[in-house]
Every structure is written in C-alpha cells, then in structure tokens.
Amino acid sequence: MFCWLSRLCGELSTPTRRTTQLIWSSAARSMVLSSQRIPELSSFVARTNTCGELRSSHLGQEVTLCGWIQFRRQNIFLVLRDFHGLVQVVIPQDESAASVKKILCEAPMESVVQVSGTVISRPPGQKNPKMPTGEIEIKVKTAKLLNSCKKLPFEIKDFMKKTETLRLQYRYLDLRSVQMQYNLRLRSQMVMKMREYLCNLHGFVDVETPTLFKRTPGGAKEFVIPSREPGKFYSLPQSPQQFKQLLMVGGLDRYFQVARCYRDEGSRPDRQPEFTQIDIEMSFVDQTGVQSLIEGLLQYSWPSDKDPLVVPFPSMPFAEALASYGTDKPDTRFGMKIVDISDMFRNTEVGFLQDALSKPQGTVKAICIRKGAKYLKRKDIESIRKFAADHFNEEVLPIFLKTNENWNSPVAKFIMEEQGLGLVKLLETQEEDVVLLTAGEHKKACSLMGKLRLECADLLEARGVVLRDPALFSFLWVVDFPLFLPKEENPQELESAHHPFTAPHPSDIHLLYTEPHKVRSQHYDLVLNGNEIGGGSIRIHNSELQHYVLDTVLKEDVKLLSHLLQALDYGAPPHGGIALGLDRLMCLVTGAPSIRDVIAFPKSFRGHDLMSNAPDSIPPEELKPYHIQVSWPMDAETERAHR
Ligand code: ASP
C-alpha cells in the first residue's frame, strides 16, 4: 500500500507494482518541488503522528495513532492504515494487557481504532523493505475501538476488481483506495498551484458567481429549477459566461473561479451533468495574451514528476485540423494524417471514386496505416468498412501495396500503376503498410478518415504497436475557427461555433453582413492528446454588433440578454477569456479511464447519484408551492389502451 504523504513529500518507499510506482514516485517529486514546507498533518487532532510517517528516526517515541484495521495476523500483529500509509502494530500478549488484546483481536477489519505505544525496531529478519514504515513497529500500550465496521460490500484492497456501479453506490468506501486518494490529492495540489499562479503571481480575483440564474439562449441544454413564483424558473448556468463578462464591465479586470457548471446532456466517459471549469476572463487582452497566460498556468501547476511542459504550445488552424486529422481536436501524438489524393484519381476506374469526383464537392482522401498489413486482420478491415457504411454511408477501400498481400480486394486491379506509385510517394508508404481510401464531400470524408485513423491506432496498439507514448502530453491550440457553423438539424440556419459572445476575426468583420458563414472568429480551443480541455474567445464588446449577431444572424430572442446588451453600452472594456475543463484535464494527467475517477462524488453514466438515489421523487404536496405537477408518462399498458 502506498504511503501517501511520504510519497508526496519525497521520502523513500517501494511500491509493489510498477505502474503504481510510476504514479506515486512522480507525485512525491511534485510535492517536494512544489511546496515550500511539509504540511503539519497531526495538528488539532487526537493523534501524535500519522501511520505512514513513522521511520527508524522515530525509535523510542511514544505515539498515538488513529486508523483503520487493514490486516490482522495470528492475533499477534495488526496493520493499521490511514490516508498516509500503513504501520505494523504488535498486539500485546501478556495477561496484564488482556483488555487491549481483546479490543485489537476482536475488532472486525476496517474498524477504526486509536492506539498508543512506543515505536520500536522490528526484530532482525522481520524488516519489510516493501513498506515505507517496514523498519519499525508499534508496541501498543493502550487501544480504543473508535468505531466498529460491519461486513463490507467489497474489500478495501487495490487488487479487488469492483464494478463501477458498486464503486459509486459505496463511493465513501471506494474513496479509501490508493488510486482515488492519489487522484483527489493531485487534483487538490494542481488547483492550489493554479490559484497561486493566478491570484498571487498575476493579480486575478477569485469571484463566485450565482448558480441560480436564468435561461441562456443557444448552447447546451440547461437544468431547470422551479421557483415559488407561478410559471417562473431558474436555470443552472452551463458556465459563468455572462457573469464573467459583466465582471469585466464592472472593472474587476482579471477574474477567475473554480466554477461548477451544469449541462443537461447525456453522460459520456468524458462528460458529467455537473463539472468544474477553471474559468478565466481578462480585460484589454488579445488571443496571444490568453494563450500565454494558460501556457504559464499549466507549466506552473504541472506535476513535477512529469516532464516539464514546453511552451508555447503549437497551434493549428481549424481548417488544417479538419483536413489532416478529420476533427477539431487532433491527437498529434502520432502521424497517419489524412491526405487529399483527388488529383491522382481524376481518371480512376473505381466506381465509387468516379462517382464522388464527378460531383462539385467531391474529393478522395487516404490515410496510411503503418504496418497495417502485418497487424490488421481481415475482419478488422471488414469492420472498418462496415463502420463507414453504417455511420457515414461511405465506402472505404483498403489498398495493399504489395500485390500478393491484397487479400483479393475486389477493386485492387483498378488501381493503376502510376496511382499506386503516386500513393507511395504522397503517403510515404513502406513495406507492410495499408492505405485506406474513401471519397465524398471534403468535411464528411475527412471526418470519416479521422475516426478510422483513431480506430486503427487503437487496433494497432491492442496488437502491441506503441503509437501513442503514454508519458507524452501533446498540447495543441486550435485556432481560426469559423464564427458560425450550419445547424446540424437545419443546415440553412447558422449557430455559433463557440458561443454567441465570441468576436469575429478583425479582418473578416465586413463579411458578417454579407456572407456570415465565411467569417473566422477569435475563438481558440486547447487540445491535449486528442481531447478538448479548454476553449475561449475574445468577446464582442460592442452592443450593436452583439445585437446584430444574436438577432439577425442567430435569430435568438435578444430580450433574454437585454441586461448584457445594456451593460456593453455602458463602457465595456475589450475583453476575452477561456475556461479549462478541470475534470478532463485531471483525467488525462492521472491517466484515469474516466472523468468519474477524478471527481469525489460523480454521477453515473445515466446522470444518477447511485449512493443517495438522486434524482428522486417528491410528494405532490411538496410540489404545490412551486405550482408544478408531474405529468407521468403513460405506461405501456395504458398507452396501448389509449390507441
Ligand atoms: N464559457 C465558455 C465555455 O464554457 C468558455 C469561454 O468562452 O470562456 O466553453
């Protein structure tokens, strides 16, 4: 078991598993470098020391410890655990200490006890080099059972496999695990460093903004909160966007907040209905200013067990991200970029390529899967083609550049020699590579290829090829987004690519009134290893322009934002900002499989709190003050009867 604080404070210990070792020893170094002094861990409480801190240097000291019973061996030894680590306790065997022996031998595992005694050296041959406290043990004089533990739904052992449902149902027990302790403590440390950087080094002001607010047009679905006024509802903010801009109008100049945000969208591995942002806004700033601030912030708060971050982060225009990676959040840890090979195939005999190229928007795209012929199986290629057909209604053609490895690809013979050679040159293909080829409208073909690129990377890695170094953190700014995108459900209408408060690119403002879909914006996203971990923009500070965007371009109800439009009219300074998704960032930093692993009390995949059973029903009489009534969905039976 990991000795928490000794790791975090850089003392020696020998974890048993290599992966654990990597995480823990790095955390240790990070603490040593980041904190000026080792925190006082036993102030104000009923212990003199923590279980994990005792060493040979404490020999002879009288100590009082509090902790959970982790193991008991032959009624002779106990291993006591607290947040800091494990320590061995010797159960007294002599008659005079019978009552102490009784307490320590009868208390069930995971009971909480307080013991007092002397730190003694373990007898020769009994030292445990795997345990940070393995040189000593506690000769107990008195013991108190503070609270007994009933039979647990699962053992508190890291090697015990538990379903996520069980973990969430008994989250308070799951939190006792080494991994959860590590994740939450590292999160706390990083947030502390961020506060330090923003407030102490750069004069930001930490301001709390309301969570009871009103509906904001556009953007994500919001949670609704009933009020006692008939027919009136609050909404939970999807972000403090309006408030942070209003704080700039209010002259706060530099604002930040560890802000809770709420979005009523289905959960995904990297989403939660409530999540936390490091929310930032500055007056008199441009895009480069915000980007430099974030680079400095991440560099400063980055755990020092990891390679230091190199800044500035690279930057890529949105159009290039889409063309080369098929997404606005490219994973730049590996190549396999999308290449446009339309020109090479203008006179192709392959039917679906011909078809696509005969259309005005038609293109042909390719990616080269390194060593694909060696590692991909025929069934992989089949499932790739099925995915393309099912989700994109597109064909994908695999090409094996060595004829004897073409797996009888039905159209391989139609690829002319010069096309084959052209592919080799353009895609720099080598022995055993496979080229995947598709055709269609640029955006759709790129987006399909982007998905296949990631899918193939997963497949290759599952077969042992190392494509993405797990220790690598590849940050990237994506810039020059369009200000508006066609709405998915109605492509004739436009919606904001970021949010309606984002300013147009200064050189494109004129297009706003003629060809709004061509306007680039001052919006920037921060991407880490293929995940969007932040986004922001320079804002519109001119009320008229904001009104035009909301009303004429986006066709939103401007009345809902009249307070903001009015504020912009009263001497609003130029301003801009960004928000970092703290949960996602921590998930990537800790290497956790889901953001739920870096949140103390997360919701389940379906948005439920499995521990308390929220959301829960409320009796009708308690709904009365809110003037609302539940309209129960008809159950299947009644519904059928009604038809
Ligand atoms: N409020 C924005 C968001 O949540 C971030 C920003 O523009 O500062 O995405």
What single string gives the DSSP state of each residue in 406-472?
A: STT-TTGGGS-HHHHHHHHHHHT--TT-EEEEEEEEHHHHHHHHHHHHHHHHHHHHHTT---S-TT-
Q: Whose CA is nearest to atom 6 of ligand 1?
A: 536
Q: Tell how strand 233-235 and strand 315-317 pair up.
A: unpaired
Contact indicator for 267, 603 with CB cutoff of 8 Å: yes
Q: Three-state DSSP class for 312? A: coil
How far apart are the C-alpha atoms of 5 and 52, rounded to whole Å? 7
DSSP character string of 576-624: EEEEEEHHHHHHHHHT-SSGGGGSSS---TTS-BTTTTBS----HHHHG
C-beta 536 within 6 A of ligand 1: yes
Does ligand 1 have an atom closer than 6 angstroms to the CB of 579?
yes
End-to-end CA distance of the chain: 62
Give the torsion sign (CA, 161, 167, 173, 174).
positive
CB-ligand 1 contact for 92 (6 Å cutoff)? no
The minimum-distance atom of ligand 1 relative to the CA of 277 is 4
Whether 577 lines ligand 1, by a CB cut-off of 6 Å, is yes
Phi/psi-derived region of residue 464, left when phi > 0, alpha when psi is between -120 and 50, beta in every other case: left
Beta bridge partners of 79: 71, 88
Ligand 1 centre and the CA of 566: distance in Å? 21
363 CA from centroid of ligand 1 (Å):
34
Burial of 291 (0-12, 13-18, 19+ CB in 10 A): buried
Nearest-atom number in ligand 1 for the CA of 539 is: 7
**Mutational test site, ligand 1, from 280, 499, 522, 582, max ligand atoms within 8 Å of CB:** 499
239 Cα–ligand 1 center, Å: 7
> Do 441 and 347 meet the contact criterion of CB atoms below 8 Å apart?
no
Pairing of strands 254-262, 205-206: parallel
Q: pLDDT value at position 13?
A: 33
CA 443 to centroid of ligand 1, rounded, Å: 25
| Ligand 1, atom 7: closest residue by C-alpha | 536
Q: For ligand 1, atom 4, which residue shows the shortest CA distance? A: 239
The ligand 1 atom at the shortest distance from the C-alpha of residue 261 is 4
Q: Which two tokens stand for residue 496?
A: 């904001």
pLDDT computed for residue 413 by the predictor: 66
Q: Is the CB of 500 under 6 A from ligand 1?
A: no
Nearest to 117 by CA among 137, 102, 95: 137
CA–CA separation, 8 and 24 (whole Å): 8
Closest CA to 136 of 109, 118, 112: 118
**CA 256 to ligand 1 centroid distance, Å:** 12
Q: Which residues contact 42 (CB under 8 A, 6 or more apart)?
A: 48, 49, 50
Rounded distance, CA 414 to CA 180, Å?
A: 56
Q: Summarize pLDDT for 454-492 with one digit per residue, the tens.
A: 999 999 999 999 999 988 999 999 999 999 999 988 889
535 lines ligand 1 (CB under 6 A): yes
What is the pLDDT, as a whole number, of residue 409?
58
Q: Which atom of ligand 1 is nearest to 240's Cα?
A: 1
**Whether the predicted model's global pTM rises above the 0.75 cut:** yes
Spans of the chain below 50 pLDDT = 1-35, 403-408
* CA distance readout (Å), 147 to 25, 42, 112, 160: 33, 20, 5, 24
- Rounded to the nearest whole angstrom, what is the distance from the C-alpha of residue 319 to the centroid of ligand 1? 21
Tokens of 449: 């290829």
Pocket probe for ligand 1: among 222, 279, 287, the residue whose CB has the most ligand atoms within 8 Å is 279
Q: Ligand 1 pocket, 241 CB below 6 A?
A: yes
576 lines ligand 1 (CB under 6 A): no
Is 144 buried (19+), middle (13-18) or exposed (0-12) by CB count in 10 A? middle
Q: Is 356 touching ligand 1 by the criterion CB < 6 Å?
A: no
Amino acid 345: pLDDT? 84
Please give the distance, rounded to the nearest whole angstrom, from the Cα atom of residue 274 to the centre of ligand 1: 15
Ligand 1 pocket, residue 239 CB under 6 Å: yes
DSSP annotation of 388 = I
Q: What is the position in ligand 1's atom list of the atom closest to the CA of 537? A: 7
